[in-house]
Amino acid sequence: MKVVITGGGGFLGYQLGKKLLETGELTGSNRLQPISEICLFDRFFSETIVEKTATESRITLLEGDISDRDTVFSVIDDDTASIFHLASMVSGECEEHFDAALSVNLNGGWHIFEAARARKGTPKVVFASSIACFGGDDMPETMTDSTKRTPQTTYGMTKVIGELMVNDYSRKEYFDGRSARLPTVIIRPGKPNAAASGWASGMFREPLNGEVCELPVHRHQCHPMTGYHEVADSLIALHEVPTEKLGRDRAYGLPAHQVTPALAEELVNQLAEEKGFPAGKIEDAFDPKIQKIVDQWPTAVDGSRAVQLGLPQVAPLKQIIEYYLEDFC
């Protein structure tokens, strides 16, 4: 079976591709089938990803613009059995470039869904949504899957619409869709991206590398976070859930830790002492623009509905940090 991962050149898309290679098979047409091809589709690929995938015959790299309908339809053909739709402009970019956000996140997602609809049979589509779907002054203390979605960012708005489209296309049996509402994913290696939540990885990554992290939010800022291993496993597990168990609302929020910069600093220093390396510091570099966006996001989420469906619990936060040290340091 052929699997397409949009946003396959990004950190999470690549991690998902690796996990699928290890898994080796997915359920399609009501039976387990070996994965014959994983197509990573993105606007460009780093030299690192090109090098790492060069010797894997089952991986194909395709560069293209997701906002171009013809390109998307050429990628998602009749051989495509499953689609993991991760491609998206991130939060900070969407706030700065509204028209581009609509073109990539809305039109691009619509092209993906239409291509899946046009394919023969009923492919599975797993959509990566976000806790940015929630927002506003009337948020409850903890967000659940039944909490009203009132996003206060363009990024969040596009994710809500994506979730609703997945529900409706699935209701009409155009494809078999399901959405995973992701907390902030840590710890991303490399340089920070334009996401307003970039500090969430930075407050671990930079000190673990012995560097200073410039923190744009308050030190008591609480934010839902999970690890990249858990997200990749959850996307695959959600793909494997039998259709009859999904219900009418196919959007499932993943479980997460409540993390503050103060907690991050404590755990990094603890690991640095245990493993004998010098930790960098977290220094205040308050950015009211970033804080204003983050203030509109939830501080706690309830992922029990996803866990009841069979998706994995989040690993201990210290373990998530140790995974990063093992994989990237």
Residue 266, C-beta contacts closer than 8 angstroms, at least 6 positions apart:
none
How many other C-beta atoms are found inside a 10 Å radius of the C-beta of residue 139?
18
Please give the single-letter amino acid code of residue 25.
E
Catalytic residue, chosen from 14, 155, 169, 324, is 155
Q: Is 155 a catalytic residue?
A: yes
Is there a contact between 125 and 113 (Cβ–Cβ < 8 Å)? yes
- What are the tokens at 303? 């992922």
Q: What is the SS3 string spanning the chain? A: CEEEEECCCCHHHHHHHHHHHHHCEEEECCEEEECCEEEEEECCCCHHHHHHHCCCCCEEEEECCCCCHHHHHHHCCCCEEEEEECCCCCHHHHHHCHHHHHHHHHHHHHHHHHHHHHCCCCCEEEEEEEHHHCCCCCCCCCECCCCCCCCCCHHHHHHHHHHHHHHHHHHCCCCEEEEEEECEEECCCCCCCCCCCHHHHHHHHHHHCCCCEEECCCCCCCEEEEEHHHHHHHHHHHHHCCHHHCCCCCEEECCCEEECHHHHHHHHHHHHHHHCCCCCCEEECCCHHHHHHHCCCCCCECCHHHHHHCCCCCCCHHHHHHHHHHHHC
- Residues serving a catalytic function are 155
